[in-house]
Structures are given as structure tokens and as C-alpha cells.
A and B are shown apart, each in its own frame.
Chain A
Amino acid sequence: MTKITFITQDNESIIVEGNSGNVMELAVQNKIKGIEGNCGGVCSCATCHVHVQPEDWDRVGAPSTLESDMLEFDDHVSEYSRLCCQINVDDTIDGIVLKVAN
């Protein structure tokens, strides 16, 4: 099982576990506030914006061009922004911490 910690805008820390799908789906299943995934995970709606901890960035990886284009002018963008529907849940990201951007 891959463990992921979400920190919401209310500073609530929630640890969730999963072993398949993408991080947005896992967040929706666990009712993480601020993650909606309205488009179902196809990088169209930007309602699953998270900030990756700098030390986890290399493991999570950089966004695709379309994803970074969606993020670049977002009001809450940081250099560690990702749309978490584009991050797969697997061993490589076990233990990461994601701050919900909205």
C-alpha cells in the first residue's frame, strides 16, 4: 500500500492509502477538502491542484506540457504545483506529503 499525506487549507493532515488509480481519485474517495476532480481525471478542470513538498519533487516528477500550461497562470501556483489526477498511485510516491492548493 502507498501512503500519502494530504494537508488541507484548514491545516488538517490526513493520511490515506491506496495501490492503484491516480492521486485525485484517492483524495476524492477520502473526501479531501479542496480536491474535486470534476473532469474525472483527464487534466481538463484543474480542480485537483496540490503542492508537492520540495524533497518529494523528484519522486513525483514534473508535469506534462499541457498540465504545466494549465497551472502556470493559476492564482495558487508554486514551482512545486501538480494536478494530482496526473500522478499515479504506486510505490515510487510512498510517503509523500501534498498540500491542497485550494
Chain B
Amino acid sequence: MTEAASNKTCIVIGASHAGVNFAFALRRNGWAGEILVYDSDPELPYHRPPLSKGYLSAQDNSQLDLLFPKENYESENITLNLGKKVIAIDKLLKTIELSGGSKQGYDTLVLASGARPIVPKIDGLQGAKNVFSLRTFGHTVGIQRALLASVNKRVVIIGGGYIGLETAASLKKAGANVVVLEREKRVLERVTAPEMSVFFKDLHHANGVDLLTSKNVISIENSSGVSTVICDDKTSYEADVIVVGVGIEVNTELAAQAGLELENGIKVSTSAKTNDAHIYAIGDCTFHYNQHYKRYIRLESVQNAVDQAKVAAAAICGNEVNYDVIPWFWSDQYDVKLQMVGLSQGYNNVIKRIELGNEKCQSVWYFRDDDLLAVDAVNNGKAYVLGTRFIKGKQILDKSKLKDVSIPIKPTSFLLD
């Protein structure tokens, strides 16, 4: 492999799950040249999912959950350039430019630029005190400090998606009074079936979180340090801390400026290559083809970040690769573990199981006609593991058996006779 053996420079923009796992995978694949990783976040690269989960409710957060210890970057000769923002790519000269003006040449460039929280257009949001998104370690620290400094600890969370719900559960656990305002008629509307929305609404109510739906926030008024969050149905909620979790937008500015092909993200091939032969893209920022579901998709997930990183690393080192996976996700709220596999979009029927004698062990199976598309498993590792196997194997299941909770979840339980 001439690519791997030669002394070339690979630049990675973005040092989170995708970028960092890529750097280590590139070394494992035999890349002998320099690996330079840039990120505007000054922290050593860390696990993001815990930020809205255990990290937010923990008392002692002096230690970040690092992706890899510092020594590993040194021993693998991976150069981290943290707190450094890349502002431009020149794909003809094959250089990047940093804020401040310095330039660095590359032979191969990998965009792992991720996404950023959407800031919704709400009157008064910009000027309001103690408003946070939740995507970085800095955000988590800000939320905790603001909460600590507040007497009443009233938190209003705008958005009832996974970030909003996890944040609600974590801050409740940390002693806050939490209200969640969701614009749609149910929480998690974009990602789950109504059955799951009901389950999570009940779960949050049981834990003392006010989870309110059909609440369209239109403005925030501020007086003497307290914000009032106002909805279009004229209801209002006082807040000492506001967390906004209404989705993300992909960081595509660099790619756009470099003239790379964009479509709901940076468009890449099944080997994670962009339309420039020397530039790859991985993780949340990519719009990529899923072979199982036979369509282009964009994912916000650790799984996609890590797996696409490995594919790009192998491809750059000259190995034959082909990104072909079933996406998976997880969410932890209170004592509930939700594991999701597959993509449910396009489903037209679902089967919900509540396991006998264990109300907290549930699963929702999403079908398009008879094709199993996805499974949401609540405290139910078996449904998750077997769901994964059935989806991968395109297994046709006997739905009457799947509906029958007297039949336990086993590899052969739901096969057609």
C-alpha cells in the first residue's frame, strides 16, 4: 500500500467520536505519516452522550469521560490541535487555514465537523439570562453552574426530543424543578411511535417532571434575573435556567466553501469519500447511503460516527470497504434504558410487547407491511439484540406470535411455521 507506507499528512477537522476514532483507526490501518486533528473545543476529546445523562446529574464532574487517555494520542503519534478553529479549505492547493491566518497542507483531509444546536427564532431568547444548548462539555458546566447559583432551581426545557428528555431526567435527579415544553402533540414525535411517546410521558410524570405538549414557545420576557417563557396558547412558565434542545444543524460551511457536494449534509460514498478525491467526511455531518434501507440518510449517533470512521480509515489506506450497517442508538432516562435499532421511518404498523410480570420491560416493533424496520427496546436487551438480528437477516416474523407475550423472546420464537 503506497498510501500507507509513504510519509504523508492527513488532517482531520473535528475531534469528537468520529474524528478521534478515525485517527486511531488510520494508524491501525498502517498510515505512517502525520495525523493532525483540529477542533475548536479546547477539551481533550470526550464522550458526548453522558453530557445529557449521568454527567449532568452527578455531583462531582471534575473528571471528563475521555474517549482516549492523553498518552494514547502521544503513543500513536496523533497530534491534537485543540481550541483551534479551521476557517477555510483550499482543495486545489490542498491546504486548510486556521483562524489567525496560518495554513497547513494535507494529502488527505477528513471532515468530521459534526453539527451544532439549532437556535430557534424566539423573541427575547438572545437577551435572556442562563440560556443553554447541550452539545459540549462547556454547555454542561454552564447549566450546572447556573443551577447551583439559583435558589428556586426552575428549569424550562424547550424541546421534547431525546436531548430534552434526558436533560429533564438528569436535572430532576440533580434537584431541579423541571418543565419540558414540546411544540408537537407528543414527545419524540420525529423519532418514535405514539406508543413510545406515551411511555416516556408517563415515565416523566411519575418522576415529577412537567412534560407538556402542544406548547409552542413564542417569546421570553426577562425581569430582574428571572425569565418568563411564553407560549402561543398564552400560558407562561418562569425559569431560572432555560435549556434549548430543538435539534441540530450540520456544520457544512467549510464543505460548502470548498465546493463539496452537499445535500442534507456532506454527501459521501459508501467509502466515506466526498466528490473530491482527497477529501472524506464522517459522522453526523454526512449524508450517506444506507444499503439496508436503500436510501441516503443523515444520522446523529455514536454508532455512525465510529463505524464511518473505520470505513474511511480503511479506504484511505487502500483497503476495500463498504459502509453497510443497521443504525443503533440508546437513551438513558431515570432507571430506564432505551435501546433502538434500525430506522422506523416509513412504518405502517407496529407491535408493542410488555413482558409478562415486568411492566418496565417493553418493546415496540416497527413494520412496513411485513418487513421489520426497527425495534425500540425499553429495559429489554433481548428484544434489542434479536431485533438487530432479525432486521439484518431480513427475517419475516409471525406477527401473531410476536404479539403473544406468553411466548418469550427467543431466537426462534417468532419464526413462521
A residues adjacent to B (C-beta < 8 A): 28-29, 31, 36, 38-46, 66-74
Find out whether the CB atom of B47 lies under 8 angstroms from the CB atom of A40.
Answer: yes
Asked whether A43 and B337 contact (CB < 8 A) given A28-B68, A31-B72, A38-B302, the answer is yes
- For the complex, give the distance between the alpha carbons of A53 and B384 in Å: 27
How many A-B residue contacts, CB cutoff 8 Å?
58
| Residues of A contacting B330 in the complex (Cβ-Cβ under 8 angstroms) | 39, 42, 44-45
| Residues of B contacting A71 in the complex (Cβ-Cβ under 8 angstroms) | 381
Q: For the complex, is B205 an interface residue (Cβ under 8 Å from A)? A: no
Q: For the complex, is B208 an interface residue (Cβ under 8 Å from A)? A: no
**Choice from A41, A42, A66 contacting B381 with Cβ under 8 Å:** A66
Q: Which residue in chain B gives the minimum CB-CB distance to A38?
A: B306
Asked whether A66 and B379 contact (CB < 8 A) given A40-B47, A42-B332, the answer is yes
**Choice from A31, A36, A46, A74 contacting B306 with Cβ under 8 Å:** A36
Q: For the complex, is B82 an interface residue (Cβ under 8 Å from A)? A: no
**Smallest CB–CB gap between A17 and chain B, Å?**
14
- For the complex, give the distance between the alpha carbons of A72 and B408 in Å: 13
- For the complex, give the distance between the alpha carbons of A68 and B380 in Å: 10
Find out whether the CB atom of A44 lies under 8 angstroms from the CB atom of B389.
Answer: no
Q: Which residue in chain A gives the minimum CB-CB distance to B329?
A: A44
B residues adjacent to A (C-beta < 8 A): 47, 49-50, 53-54, 65, 68-69, 71-72, 302-303, 306, 328, 330, 332, 337, 339, 379-382, 384-386, 389, 410-411
Most buried by B among A29, A39, A68, A74: A39
Q: A69-B385, A72-B385, A73-B385 are in contact. List 15 more A-B contacts (CB 8 A).
A: A38-B302, A40-B47, A40-B50, A42-B49, A42-B337, A44-B330, A44-B332, A44-B339, A45-B328, A66-B337, A69-B380, A69-B381, A70-B385, A72-B381, A74-B385
Asked whether A70 and B384 contact (CB < 8 A) given A42-B330, A42-B332, the answer is yes
Find out whether the CB atom of A29 lies under 8 angstroms from the CB atom of B68.
Answer: yes
Find out whether the CB atom of B337 lies under 8 angstroms from the CB atom of A44.
Answer: yes
**Smallest CB–CB gap between B68 and chain A, Å?**
7
- For the complex, give the distance between the alpha carbons of A56 and B330 in Å: 31
| Residues of B contacting A44 in the complex (Cβ-Cβ under 8 angstroms) | 330, 332, 337, 339
Q: Which residue in chain A gives the minimum CB-CB distance to B383?
A: A69
Find out whether the CB atom of A39 lies under 8 angstroms from the CB atom of B68.
Answer: no
**Smallest CB–CB gap between A45 and chain B, Å?**
8
Q: Which residue in chain A gives the minimum CB-CB distance to B47?
A: A40
| Residues of B contacting A40 in the complex (Cβ-Cβ under 8 angstroms) | 47, 49-50, 65, 302
| Residues of B contacting A43 in the complex (Cβ-Cβ under 8 angstroms) | 337
| Residues of B contacting A66 in the complex (Cβ-Cβ under 8 angstroms) | 337, 379, 381
A-B contact pairs, 19 of them (CB 8 A): A39-B330, A40-B302, A41-B65, A42-B332, A42-B337, A44-B332, A44-B337, A44-B339, A45-B328, A45-B330, A46-B385, A66-B379, A66-B381, A69-B380, A69-B381, A69-B385, A70-B381, A71-B381, A72-B385
- For the complex, give the distance between the alpha carbons of A16 and B191 in Å: 42
| Residues of A contacting B385 in the complex (Cβ-Cβ under 8 angstroms) | 46, 69-70, 72-74
| Residues of B contacting A31 in the complex (Cβ-Cβ under 8 angstroms) | 72
Find out whether the CB atom of B302 lies under 8 angstroms from the CB atom of A73.
Answer: no
Most buried by B among A31, A46, A69: A69
**Choice from A41, A45, A69 contacting B382 with Cβ under 8 Å:** A69
- For the complex, give the distance between the alpha carbons of A74 and B328 in Å: 16
| Residues of A contacting B68 in the complex (Cβ-Cβ under 8 angstroms) | 28-29
- For the complex, give the distance between the alpha carbons of A45 and B382 in Å: 13
